[in-house]
């Protein structure tokens, strides 16, 4: 058991919630800054977790958040830009401010969430390019004890990716799919959380970055077809040509709520598969998508209600 206090930026997000649950179980005390404390009240049920509000982009406020902590985990990231929230501000400027705040408060240990194929030289999209810049800054902070984790797409019962496609498949018998041949090695959210915990507790991970992948590689079309199968729905998934995919990204990118943009399209031009799976190096056996998500989709309580309603 552990008595250290960790500040988890992005602790209210999908990965953050799983990581927080795992770390409090190990006895860590956590501080989780959020812009929306009212929305994340359930996190306060975790023993030893302190949910705090404050502007983490303000250097003074950032230092206040870090006071009394022994280590920092930065999970903050975005897939889409909105006004006041640019890739550069979130992926490049924020990590730089966190590094400065660690130095100012004397915190040495920093774990940073990047993304697979984040690349400050060749990142094809603003997402991957700025994630690469952020990661580069963290790894260059040689006076700190840093570890960087770089996952492929992350899945879990409460994810956005699988559940968003599931939502679309429930609504329509036909799904036109951009970039159907893009490849992924989906990694389970609890394996990612375990990777953070292992890195936190193992000094051999200092100065290292780890790619994180699941056990199997799928094309995007295979993923969507598998989701339809897991839902028990007969669906037609139609792969779009490259020019139609770009058109879809341009049109969807103009919607007020973003689900697919040109930047997402550009990210999908590199296969999200590992050259060397860091989970193995960290001693973690990756869970399969089928093992986790089949049960999740089969257990959809609304489907049971819908079927009951249809039966009258
Ligand atoms: N999910 C994936 O498949 C995947 C794959 C590869 C890499 N990653 C990376 O993993 C990290 C966590 O992903 P996730 O899926 O857990 O993300 P998420 O569910 O969208 O959560 C994002 C978190 O970041 C915070 N945040 C977002 N924008 C912010 C801003 N402008 N200022 C301050 N805080 C902000 C949110 O806090 P509030 O409570 O304040 O909203 C939230 O806690 C990200 O860095 C992401 O790029 C994710």
Task: Look at residues 295, 36, 292, 22 and name the one whose alpha carbon lies nearest to residue 154.
Answer: 292
pLDDT score for 3: 84
Reported as a single tens digit per residue, the pLDDT across 188-238 is: 999 999 999 999 999 999 999 999 999 999 999 999 999 999 999 999 999
pLDDT per residue as tens, the chain (312 positions):
678 999 999 999 999 999 999 999 999 999 999 999 999 999 999 999 999 998 999 999 999 999 999 999 999 999 999 998 999 999 999 999 999 999 999 999 999 999 999 999 999 999 999 999 999 999 999 999 999 999 999 999 999 999 999 999 999 999 999 999 999 999 999 999 999 999 999 999 999 999 999 999 999 999 999 999 999 999 999 999 999 999 999 999 999 999 999 999 999 999 999 999 999 999 999 999 999 999 999 876 666 556 556 554
pLDDT score for 301: 60
Phi, psi of 29 (to 5 degrees): -95, 140
pLDDT score for 19: 98
DSSP 37: G
Alpha-carbon span 126 to 161, nearest angstrom: 19
Measured CA distances, 6 to 21, 26, 32, 200 (Å)? 13, 12, 9, 10
How far apart are the CA of 10 and the centre of ligand 1, in A?
A: 6
List all residues whose CB is within 6 A of at least one atom of ligand 1. Answer: 10, 12-16, 34-36, 40, 56, 75-78, 85, 90, 113, 115, 151, 153-154, 161
Alpha-carbon span 234 to 163, nearest angstrom: 17
User: Is domain 5-156+185-212 given the CATH code 2.30.30.170 in the classification?
Assistant: no
Alpha-carbon span 228 to 235, nearest angstrom: 6
How far apart are the CA of 252 and the centre of ligand 1, in A?
A: 21
Ligand 1 pocket, mutate which of 7, 13, 156 (most atoms under 8 A from CB): 13
| Element at 202 (helix H, strand E) | none
| Element at 221 (helix H, strand E) | helix 220-231
How far apart are the CA of 96 and the centre of ligand 1, in A?
A: 17
Alpha-carbon span 218 to 206, nearest angstrom: 31
State which ligand 1 atom lies nearest to the alpha carbon of 39. 39
């Amino acid at each position: 058991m552990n008595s250290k206090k960790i500040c988890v930026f992005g602790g209210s997000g999908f990965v953050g919630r799983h990581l927080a649950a795992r770390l409090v179980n190990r006895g860590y005390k956590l501080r989780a800054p959020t812009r929306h404390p009212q929305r994340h009240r359930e996190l306060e049920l975790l023993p030893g977790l302190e949910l705090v509000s404050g502007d983490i982009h303000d250097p003074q406020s950032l230092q206040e958040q870090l006071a009394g902590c022994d280590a920092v985990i930065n999970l903050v990231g975005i897939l889409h830009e909105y006004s006041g929230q640019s890739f550069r501000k979130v992926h490049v400027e924020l990590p730089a401010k966190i590094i400065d705040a660690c130095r100012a408060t004397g915190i040495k240990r920093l774990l940073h969430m990047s993304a697979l194929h984040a690349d400050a030289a060749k990142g094809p999209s603003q997402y991957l390019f700025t994630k690469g810049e952020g990661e580069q800054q963290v790894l260059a902070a040689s006076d700190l004890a840093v570890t960087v984790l770089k996952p492929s797409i992350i899945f879990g019962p409460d994810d956005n990716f699988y559940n968003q496609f599931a939502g679309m498949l429930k609504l329509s018998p036909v799904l036109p799919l951009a970039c159907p041949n893009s490849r992924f090695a989906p990694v389970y959210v609890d394996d990612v959380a375990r990777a953070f915990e292992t890195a936190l507790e193992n000094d051999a991970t200092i100065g290292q970055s780890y790619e994180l992948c699941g056990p199997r590689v799928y094309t995007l079309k295979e993923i969507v077809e598998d989701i339809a199968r897991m839902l028990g729905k007969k669906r037609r998934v139609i792969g779009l040509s490259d020019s139609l995919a770009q058109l879809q990204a341009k049109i969807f990118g103009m919607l007020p709520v973003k689900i697919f943009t040109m930047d997402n399209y550009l990210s999908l031009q590199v296969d999200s598969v590992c050259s060397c799976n860091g989970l193995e190096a960290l001693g973690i056996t990756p869970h399969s998508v089928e093992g986790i998500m089949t049960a999740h989709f089969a257990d959809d309580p609304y489907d049971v209600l819908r079927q009951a309603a249809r039966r009258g």
